[in-house]
Chains A and B, each alone.
Chain A
Amino acid sequence: MPKDGSVVRLDGQGKPLWLVLELTYRCPLKCPWCSNPVDYARDGEAELSTAEWKRVMREGRELGALQLGFTGGEPLLRDDLEELVADASALGYYTNLITSGVGLTENRLRALKAAGLNQIQLSLQSSDRELTDTLVGARAFDLKLKVAHQIKAQGFPMVLNVPVFRQNIGQVADILALAEDIGVDYLEFANIQYYNWAMVNRDELLPTREQIAAAEREVQAARERLGDRMTIYFVIPDYYEGRPKACMNGWGSIHLTIAPDGAAMPCQEARIIQGLDFPTVRDKSLAWLWNESPTFEKFRGDAWMSPTCRSCDEKEKDFGGCRCQAFLMTGDAANTDPACARSPHHHLIGEAIARAHAPGRKVQPLVMRNDGNSRRLARGGQGGCGSGTGCGSGTARMEPDHV
């Protein structure tokens, strides 16, 4: 009997272990931090058909994918969701549904259970009804709570995802109590990442260092109180870390995301990066997209790295951080992630924090994620804010969905 090493680390060995399907960008909610592309509403290719998604799932399994996420937009808007889940289960995936809860009825829950769905991740934005409904631009709070209890009643393992920003960071204790009452298995406080809609609204959303520290203390106290009963994650915002996140475990390493139109991406934000080509599963096989597409090859290994990262002893751990953030803030995706204190662009992070909390700064209305704002931003031609310019400035006149 071998002495030790109960667990073998899974590095993927070149396999796309995680396959994420963005079934649609349509969504009934209007979260102003949404990580979907700001230009999601521009005319483009049609969503993949049921048969096309099935082919993607089959080819994914052949490449060694194990985990499958159904997300969006709101995946429940696809009425073939149950059929896709059943197919995925038969193929041997662990199936995750990532949802706002809108559209999840008792009947659909039963059907999803019967189809073999393994777990549900529900997003909740606040412990307060008014604030939730205002932030997501719809009456959603009561519905989300009801759905949360139904999910548990049906016996699904459940992750409660709470995107964290200035407006809700003071509610950590209340949200913990809610989660305990529901009986969620994993509670994930995810400090939002500043791309896409969150980047547009960054000045209004970014919390202070003190707020984050206070929230973290609440989480620590809850961990001690709850022990094994609930696993609590607290995803620290890289803006305050001085270290970049090990984004996607490295570009093209274990993650493969398919956009609604079939474009293959190393992460859900990757289309932000200009100058990269994103062929779709309509043009190419998944094997080609993963193994041979120049886009996936581009930031694998370390040859592409700036000298700052290539000579750094941390590069095996964080892979130089996030390519999308490097592109958004410095204009070059191959630069060191500016969240890293060793980045020559690190001052951009400090400046963004200072701008968001400048005394006397005029509070702007949140730019809600909706079709009108999306088309307007698409015409403006930006997926975020280039070269550290203030984001709010370029997007001041938004309508009609203000908070």
Chain B
Amino acid sequence: MTDITAPSPPAAGERYVLNPMYLFRWEPTQDAHVLLYPEGIVKLNQTAGDIIARCDGRRTVADLVGELQQRYPGDDVRVAEGVYKFLEVFRAKGWIRRQA
């Protein structure tokens, strides 16, 4: 079961998966990752693409933060905060779901 209604913010031990309704892929004509779904297109910026690519149901939020901190070295605290914020926004938009 995946929980799609719980409004609580993401926690370090949780895993997220892409909502199966969405198709996520690289689109060369946009030079960007896109999310495609019934009646919709979302073009993602690089960070958003980096995060969603890792919502695979295996990595925990903590794993994800670690990987992004490596990818964007510098301010680890800000990167961690950014990941949490993005995950919360993406979940609210219905793009990703919390894996129970």
Chain A residues at the B interface, C-beta cutoff of 8 Å:
1-3, 5-10, 15, 17, 64, 66-67, 92, 94, 96, 118-119, 121, 155, 157-159, 185-186, 227-229, 231
A-binding segment of B10-18, B28-36, B56-64: B28-36
In the complex, how many angstroms separate the beta carbon of A6 from the nearest chain B beta carbon?
Answer: 5
From A3, which residue of chain B is reached at the shortest CB distance? B82
Asked if B27 and A66 sit within 8 Å, CB to CB, the answer is yes
B45 and A2 within 8 A (CB): yes
Asked whether A7 and B38 contact (CB < 8 A) given A1-B78, A66-B27, A228-B94, the answer is: no
Judging by beta carbons under 8 Å apart, are A5 and B38 in contact? no
B21 adjacent to chain A (CB < 8 Å)? yes
Q: In residues 58-100 of chain B, which contact A (Cβ within 8 Å)?
A: 68, 72, 75, 78-79, 82, 86, 89-90, 94
Residues from chain A with Cβ under 8 Å of B86 in the complex: 6
* Beta-carbon contact of B38 and A185 below 8 Å: yes
Selected from B36, B39, B45, the residue in CB contact (under 8 A) with A66 is B36
Residue in contact with B36 in the complex, picked from A64, A67, A159, A231, CB distance below 8 Å: A67
**Would A119 and B38 be within 8 Å (CB), given that A1-B79, A6-B45, A7-B48 are in contact?**
yes
CA distance A229 to B32 in the complex (A): 29
How near does chain A come to B8, taking the closest CB pair, in angstroms?
13
| Contacts A1-B68, A6-B44, A157-B20 given; does A186 touch B39 at CB 8 Å | yes
Interface pairs (26), CB distance under 8 Å: A1-B72, A2-B45, A2-B46, A5-B45, A6-B45, A6-B48, A7-B42, A7-B43, A7-B48, A8-B32, A8-B44, A10-B41, A10-B42, A64-B29, A64-B30, A66-B36, A67-B36, A94-B23, A118-B38, A121-B38, A158-B38, A185-B21, A186-B39, A227-B5, A228-B5, A228-B94
Q: Which residues of A contact B48 (CB under 8 A)?
A: 6-7
20 further contact pairs, Cβ within 8 A, besides A66-B36, A119-B38: A1-B68, A1-B78, A1-B79, A6-B44, A6-B45, A6-B48, A6-B89, A8-B32, A9-B43, A10-B34, A10-B43, A66-B29, A96-B39, A118-B23, A157-B20, A157-B37, A157-B38, A185-B21, A227-B5, A229-B4
Q: Give the chain B neighbours of A2 by CB distance below 8 A.
A: 45-47
A10 to B72: give the CA distance in the assembly, Å. 25
| Cβ-closest chain B residue relative to A231 | B94
Asked if B34 contacts A66 (CB within 8 A), the reply is yes
A121 to B42 Cα, complex, angstroms: 20
Among B25, B32, B38, B94: residue with most chain A CB under 10 A:
B38
Query: A7, A9, A159, A185: which has the most chain B beta carbons within 10 Å?
Result: A7
Instruction: Give the nearest-CB partner of A5 in chain B.
Output: B45
Chain A residues whose C-beta falls within 8 Å of the C-beta of B23 in the assembled complex: 94, 118
Q: Using Cβ atoms and an 8 Å threshold, which residues of chain B touch A159?
A: 38-39
Q: What's the nearest-Cβ distance from chain A to residue B95, in Å?
A: 10
Chain A residue with the shortest CB-CB distance to B51 = A6
Residues in B with CB closer than 8 Å to A8 are 32, 43-45
A10 and B45 contacting across the interface, CB-CB below 8 Å? no
Residues of B within 8 A of A92 (CB): 25, 27
**Complex interface: chain B residues within 8 A of A231 (CB):** 94
Nearest Cβ distance between residue B77 and chain A, in whole angstroms? Answer: 11
List the 4 closest A-B pairs by CB distance, nearest first: A94-B36, A64-B29, A1-B72, A10-B43
CB distance from A263 to the nearest CB of B (A): 24
Chain A residue contacts of B45, Cβ below 8 A: 2, 5-8
Q: Which residues of A contact B38 (CB under 8 A)?
A: 96, 118-119, 121, 157-159, 185-186
Query: With the chains together, A119 CA to B19 CA distance in Å?
Result: 14
A66→B43 CA distance, assembly (Å) = 11
Which residues from chain A contact B4 at a C-beta distance below 8 Å? 228-229
CA distance A10 to B21 in the complex (A): 20
Residue of B36, B75, B78 with highest tally of chain A CB at under 10 A = B36
Q: Considering the chains assembled together, what is the distance between the CA atoms of A121 and B86 in angstroms?
A: 30
| Interchain CA distance A228-B90 in the complex, whole Å | 13
For A9, what are the chain B residues with a Cβ–Cβ distance below 8 Å? 43
Residue of B nearest to A118 (CB): B23
The distance in angstroms between the C-alpha atoms of A3 and B45, with both chains bound, is 11
Q: Are A1 and B47 in contact (CB under 8 A)?
A: yes
Write out the residue numbers on chain B whose beta carbons fall within 8 Å of the beta carbon of A5: 45
User: Would you give the shortest CB distance from B38 to chain A, in whole angstroms?
Assistant: 4
Residues of B with C-beta under 8 A to A158: 38
Closest to A2 in B: B47
When distances are taken between beta carbons in the complex, the residues of chain B under 8 Å from A1 are 47, 68, 72, 75, 78-79, 82
Chain A residue nearest to B80 (CB atoms) is: A1
Q: When chains A and B are docked, how far (Å) is the Cα of A227 from the Cα of B92?
A: 11
Residues of A within 8 A of B42 (CB): 7, 10
